[in-house]
Amino acid sequence: MYAVAESEWIITKAHELGFDLCGITPVEGLTDPAHLAEWLARGYAGRMHYMHDPRRADITPVLPEARSVIVCALNYNTANPVSTDAAARTSADQELRGWVSRYAWGEDYHVVLGKKLEQLVAAMRAHFIGLWQSRTYVDTGPISERLAAQQAGLGWQAKNTCFINEKIGSWLFLGVILTSLDLTPSNAPFDGPATDLCGNCQLCLEACPTGALVEPYVMDARRCIAYLTIELREAIPDELRAPTGWQVFGCDICQDVCPWNRKAPVTLAPFFQPRQNLLAPELNWLLSLKEEEFSQIFAGSPLRRAKWRGLIRNACVAVGNLAENYAIDAHERLQLQERLRDLAASGDSLIAEHASWALSRFEATG
Ligand code: B12
Ligand code: SF4
Ligand code: SF4
């Protein structure tokens, strides 16, 4: 096993590359097969078929020679309002606005973290001479990055299921490097994963509008707005449309209410600052987007994952929900209804059905 100084060297390098946190842990104990199996058996993964990949329960086939995991975290908390802040919704211009999740305001984190992890591996190649292997993952690999971060002593997996660090909070992206290097754990002597600091708090469970946090630490993803607005390619179930509120891409509510995020440090990293129009975007603008414009406008943005169809579907739901709650001026009301009628008449059955639903909400509210 390499000496502690070598693990310290890696952690220092990670900080130099801009990561806020870095920890190292052995590959053993990175999965929680029993709970994962129960979670899947309950159907909580919904249509996320990739969650059934057997490597999530046993990561050995990913890199049989793997001995250690380096976990890195990057803060994405920019100095902007939170989704539960009513003032953000009633902008001075009184336009109807939707909410895009904080994680998606800037550049795609897969790319940002992916590059940084590759730079870290390149630095390690020059430092650790000899033959050794590595795999880097940001989000898309079969590894539970939150479990890895917890195991590396960087924080805990909380009741809202997010990974929280005591000093930074939960606005953190995670990335991992699996390596055949046998590194000393950064929290050595290893005495178990980081302590859970949720205590008696239940704020996230109480605040979740769709009841997705079915019990502390357990999410039924089928009910989570992040799943409904990003991962789901089909119709948003009727009973979950109203609770989806003004969220058009992802959801931040269970993190916005979390006390550990109250003093979360702000990042000035240019790649995470909100792109124009993405902080509480005008719904009229979203509804008017043409499919051809979508790929151009959202190049390099996480919003591409929802695809044009998904984003328009989500915008219809948000408009329908806001129709009831806002004093929209007559002109805007007419404009929105006209746009919804166009969409309801479009050849796309998914969009047409959601637009008709939104129109019915307008009619119900006069
Ligand atoms: C699938 C996925 C989702 C799904 C499901 C989320 C979920 N909570 O599982 C959806 C689309 C809903 C989602 C949403 C979001 N995601 Co996501 N997502 C992932 C992904 C790809 C896998 C997570 C996973 O393994 N889920 C499966 C379940 C089984 O895992 P689990 O919650 O850890 O479950 C364990 C516990 O429930 C536990 N357990 C303990 N007790 C009990 C008791 C019982 C009875 C049961 C059944 C289970 C159980 O056992 C389970 C197995 O270990 C990871 C990337 C990765 N590769 O790790 C990113 C990841 C977790 N997501 C991330 C982010 C940023 C988000 C969003 C904030 C995006 C947004 N704003 O819209 C939201 C946050 C919502 C939330 N409260 O978690 C970050 C998390 C960062 C952080 N600080 O935590 C990650 C790590 C991506 C990254 N690289 O940064 N996500
Ligand atoms: S992200 Fe939103 S919908 Fe999902 S669990 Fe958190 S509060 Fe509930
Ligand atoms: S809101 Fe409370 S219970 Fe939920 S994650 Fe934060 S500290 Fe834990």
Assess whether the C-beta atom of 228 lies below 6 angstroms from ligand 2.
Answer: no
Assess whether the C-beta atom of 117 lies below 6 angstroms from ligand 2.
Answer: no
The pLDDT value given to residue 29: 86
- Is residue 253 within 8 A of residue 207, CB to CB? The reply is yes
C-beta atoms surrounding 332 within 10 Å: 16
- Is residue 57 within 8 A of residue 31, CB to CB? The reply is yes
8-state DSSP, 33: H
The pLDDT value given to residue 330: 81
Burial (CB count within 10 angstroms: exposed 0-12, middle 13-18, buried 19+), residue 142: middle
The pLDDT value given to residue 89: 55
Determine the average pLDDT of the residues in 299-320. 97
Catalytic residue among 139, 191, 252, 342: 139
Q: Closest-lying ligand to the alpha carbon of 213?
A: 2
139 is annotated as an active-site residue: yes
| pTM for this predicted structure | 0.96
Tokens of 136: 């880097």
pLDDT tens for residues 111-159? 999 999 999 999 999 999 999 999 999 999 999 999 999 999 999 999 9
One-character DSSP codes across 64-105: TT--EEEEEEEE---S---TT-HHHHS-TT---B-EE-GGGS
pLDDT tens for residues 31-56? 999 999 999 999 999 999 999 999 99
Query: Using CA atoms, how far apart are residues 193 and 20, in angstroms rounded to an integer?
Result: 19
Tokens of 302: 């996480």
Query: What residue owns the CA closest to ligand 3's atom 1?
Result: 258
Name the residue among 8, 20, 35 with its Cα closest to residue 217: 35
Among 204, 208, 262, which residue has the most ligand 3 atoms within 8 Å of its CB, making it the best to mutate?
Answer: 204
Determine the average pLDDT of the residues in 278-304. 94
Query: Amino acid identity, residue 114?
Result: G
Residue-range domain boundaries for the chain: 4-80+104-179, 217-364
Among 44, 251, 261, which residue has the most ligand 2 atoms within 8 Å of its CB, making it the best to mutate?
Answer: 251
Query: What residue owns the CA closest to ligand 2's atom 1?
Result: 251
CA of 129 relative to ligand 1 center, distance in Å: 36
* Distances, alpha carbon 100 to alpha carbons 63, 153, 228, 345, in Å: 36, 31, 13, 27
Beta strands 247-249; 99-100: pairing state: parallel
Helices assigned H by DSSP within 200-302: 203-207, 225-226, 238-244, 253-256, 283-288, 291-297
pLDDT tens for residues 72-124? 999 999 998 888 875 555 555 567 899 999 999 999 999 999 999 999 999 99
Residue percentage of the chain with pLDDT more than 90? 85
The pLDDT value given to residue 231: 98
The pLDDT value given to residue 232: 98
